[in-house]
Every structure is written in structure tokens, then in C-alpha cells.
Amino acid sequence: MKCLFLLCLCLVPIVVFSSTFTSQNPINLPSDATPVLDVTGKELDPRLSYRIISTFWGALGGDVYLGKSPNSDAPCANGVFRYNSDVGPSGTPVRFIGSSSHFGPHIFEGELLNIQFDISTVKSCVSYTIWKVGDYDASLGTMLLETGGTIGQEDSSWFKIVKSSQLGYNLLYCPATMICPFCSDDEFCLKVGVIHQNGKRRLALVKDNPLDVSFKQVQ
């Protein structure tokens, strides 16, 4: 597990300097690419906002939200968390920014994309709305999801949505696919799951038990 994380850390600097993939040079999707659907069966639209919700209920549920990271010196909230239950506050709206915008207003399964919390904020905190994967945390044995990422750049801010083997969808972090397009999707990908941090559920990279999610449009 630790070896795989270290591999990802080594790949990220290479990806940053790679010129094979940019927002101006997007990846071509196969003609049979499958659109991601929301809870009503409608295709996700990058122009709209959604809440990332759990496919389960009660204590197994809980929306994803933006919160302050413990012991962080960031000037803005920069942690990606999940509520402890589906009873209570709604999650923070997000929008999905795909790498295949020339295919129209759709988000496809397996497409590289950015995720951004869609909230009003001061100018200095705009970058703290964009998801990324942080550095390896030795005390927790994983890498945490946080904000402070970029849009359309080859860095730690790229994710994928794939169909879950259980219910709904899973989120993946696949840095290797940016420099190794011929690698299989599961060869270097890490799954997004939940760990416990200071009594809260924090999104992080995991080997097993990925978080099953669905997407609910914000009205």
C-alpha cells in the first residue's frame, strides 16, 4: 500500500512537466463513452451544481462537504469531508469540469475531470474550492483529499468517476493515466474512500472499501 502511494508521489512531478495532456489538448473519448447519471437518471451537466451524496442511509450515509482541516494553516477551509449521517446538513455543492468539453455538456465515466466546490467566496479563497490530493500523511498512512488545486492542469487535481461494483459510482485518483494513457484503468488508480480524522469522516485515498456515491442536482 505504502509503495503504491510513494509511486503516486513520484509520478506527480513528472505529470506536472508533461505536455501530452492539457485543457487545450483534451483526451479523445471512445465513441461509446457512457455519460454519468444523477439520482434522477439525467446526465451530469458541467454547467450545473450537484451534491455528492451517499448511496446508503442513516449512519452509513452523509453528504460530502467543505470544512476546515485539523492543524491546517491554510487561510481558507481546505478539507473534503463527509457528514456522519444523512440526517442533518446538506453537502456543499460541487461542479464537475471534464477534460472532454469539446464533446458537449456531458460528464463521462472514466473521463479525467476536476471537481470544484461551487460556492461564493472571496478572491483569495477561489483556489481553495478546487479538489486535489495532498501529500502522504505518515500518521494516517494515506493521502487526504483537500482543496487548493487547479483546473485543466496536469497535477494532483485530476479525478475520474467510474461505476461502482455496489451502488452508484466511485471516485478514482489516477495520476499515472496522464503520462501512461495505455495503462489499464486499475493498474495505477487509487480509490477515494473515508477515514476518521479527529472524530470526522475525511475523504482520502484507500486500497479497499471505496466510497459509493450518487449525485443530486442542486435546484
pTM of the predicted structure, to 2 decimals: 0.83
pLDDT, tens digit (0-9, with 9 covering 90-100), for 131-168: 999 999 999 999 999 999 999 887 788 899 999 988 89
Going from N- to C-terminal start, the domains of the chain cover: 50-217
What is the pLDDT at residue 183?
Answer: 53
H-helix or E-strand spanning residue 14: helix 2-17
User: According to CATH, what is the number of the domain 50-217?
Assistant: 2.80.10.50
CB proximity list for 99: less than 8 A, separation 6 or greater: 21, 23, 26, 27, 111, 112, 113, 152, 158
Q: Are 218 and 50 in contact (CB under 8 A)?
A: yes
Longest dimension (CA), the chain: 46
Beta bridge partners of 82: 64, 201
Q: What type of residue sits at position 191?
A: K
- Grid cell of 56 as nine digits: 446508503
Cβ-in-10-Å burial (0-12, 13-18, 19+) of 206 comes to middle
Of these ranges, 13-17, 21-25, 45-49, the one predicted with the greatest mean pLDDT is: 45-49
What b/e sequence results for 151-172 when a residue is b if at least 16 CB atoms lie within 10 Å of its CB, and e otherwise?
A: ebbbbbbbbbbbebeeebbbbb
Higher confidence at residue 104 or residue 115?
Answer: 115
